[in-house]
Chain A
Amino acid sequence: MVEQVEIVVASGKGGVGKSTLTSVLAVELAKRGVKLVAADADAEAPNLSITLGVREWDSVEPYYEGRIAYIREDLCTQCGICKEVCPLDAVEVVDEKHVINQWICEGCLTCSLACPEKAIRFIFRVEAGSIMVKRETGYGFPLVSSTIRPGRPNSGKLVTEVKNKAKTLLAGVGFILVDAAAGIGCQVISSLTGAKIAVLVAEPTPASLSDLKRIHLLTRHFMVAPALVVNKYDINPEGLEDILDYAGREDIPVLGMIPYDDTVPKAASTGKPLNIAYPESPAAKAMVEVAEKVAEEILVDWRKWYSRYRPKRPAPYIPRIK
């Protein structure tokens, strides 16, 4: 069986340094001979291409998703039932005619079921976004990214397609390094499912700890082995203690602690990964150390690492259905 191991960088909270860390990890791992594909699974705010300095794509494919309703004017009697039933208030009256605001409609079908004239039709294969591929980032690995159009549903389907594209590009045994979106929603769930290892990034703030606990719940659900990187660890000693306490209690290994460092935003402005733009900066050095640990302690025998740190028994989070 072809083995392609997914490693996901996730955090719950946004802005804690996922993409910065992912780009350094990808560059350093590739430098050490690890065969990998980087995948940006945050179509709402795709930043990995920016931190890697990728400006042009080898391919841009449309991503289709969902359907949008429209009203056939020749059949419509302007009775207004669609406007009454639409759960999203997407039906508007313009020049005394009922029309559907295509930016609001999510294609739920309610209006078409209620319309006595059967005047509601649908546009299928709505172009909701794009999936982009860069075969060589210049750092020894390909990048798959995606964008979603404002207002279009961003589902786990897009993440699934991004990951599948990455698997095709990997063409055989290797690793897929996934930069997950913030949050714990559908896209993040889709990033974590099938993954073996999650690098969780947190900063020493109460908000980040709260979100760390939420993302950790999902890694337990999906039987993913978690590891922690604390970013900007020196900005709040009390908060750091809380995070390290949590990691200790929950048996989450700490891969490294990155100091606060103003070269990080500066590197982002240059369009180069931190370790390339400012290799001597304290944050870059600390992130390179994390990459070394990932290479030497995790990837060298990922099964061993996985069996040590994965949840010992299934701990599914199951919402109640009445």
Chain B
Amino acid sequence: MATIKVGVPSEGDTLDSPVADRFGRAPKFIVVEVDTDTGEIVSYQAVDNPGYTAGSGAGVKAAQKLGELGVKVYAGPTPGPNAYAALNYLGIKVVTVTGVSVREAVKAALKELGS
């Protein structure tokens, strides 16, 4: 089974938590593993965002964390300029989604990637 990891900044720990309204200083990331054939969620984990309390370079620290976790797709609010560059550098695809739950953000990202 082929899977892909989607990283979503979140206010909470679960798939039903709201997507955070910022990237670099979001409290958490939910890393969601999705079956690439069926689009079903296989597993997920909540991870502390090192950018949350960072004085400077918060967005880049957050991007680095997603890279370490093997995330290939980011779904959430637009990251700042430096963070965006870092995500590009890491080969992480950015999909802008706001105002929904983590679960819905993952769905929206997969839909956008599929189209």
Docked CA distance A181–B80 (Å): 17
Q: Tell me how far the C-beta of A236 lies from the nearest C-beta in chain B, rounded to whole angstroms.
A: 32
Tier of interface size on chain B: 20 to 34
Are A186 and B56 interface neighbours, CB within 8 A?
yes
A153 to B56, CA, bound (A): 9
Chain B hits for A189, CB < 8 A:
80-81
B82 interface residue per 8 A CB criterion: yes
Given A160-B25, A193-B22, A194-B21: A316 touches B54 (CB 8 Å cut-off): no
Docked CA distance A321–B81 (Å):
11
With an 8 A cutoff between CB atoms, is A318 at the interface? yes
Say whether A213 faces chain B, with CB atoms less than 8 Å apart. no
Q: Which of A186, A189, A193, A321 has the most CB of B within 10 A?
A: A193
Give the complex CA separation of A222 and B88 in angstroms: 16
Q: What separation, in Å, do the CA atoms of A1 and B99 have in the docked complex?
A: 8
Q: How far is the CB of A237 from chain B (nearest CB, A)?
A: 35
On whether the beta carbons of B99 and A156 are closer than 8 Å, the reply is no
Which residues from A are CB-within-8-Å of B53?
A: 157
* Total A-B residue contacts, Cβ distance less than 8 Å: 64
With a cutoff of 8 Å between Cβ atoms, the chain B residues found around residue A156 in the complex are 24-25, 58
| In the complex, A144 has a CB within 8 A of chain B | no
Interface string of A142-166 (1 = CB under 8 A from B): 0000000000010111001000000
What CA separation (Å) do A156 and B56 show in the bound complex? Answer: 8
- Are A193 and B21 in contact (CB-based, < 8 A)? yes
Render B65-87 as a binary contact track against A, CB cut-off 8 A, 1 for contact.
00000000000011011101110
B95 to chain A: closest residue by CB: A314
Query: In the bound complex, do residue A316 and residue B25 qualify as a contact, i.e. CB atoms below 8 Å apart?
Result: no
Q: Which 8 A-B pairs have the closest CB atoms?
A: A194-B21, A193-B22, A160-B25, A194-B22, A318-B84, A318-B85, A155-B55, A66-B55
**CB<8 Å pairs between A and B, sample of 24:** A1-B18, A66-B55, A153-B56, A155-B56, A157-B55, A157-B56, A160-B22, A189-B80, A193-B23, A193-B77, A193-B78, A194-B21, A194-B77, A221-B81, A223-B78, A314-B78, A316-B81, A316-B94, A318-B85, A318-B88, A319-B82, A319-B85, A320-B85, A321-B85
Which residues of B does A touch, CB under 8 Å? 18, 21-25, 53-56, 58, 77-78, 80-82, 84-86, 88-89, 94, 96, 99-101
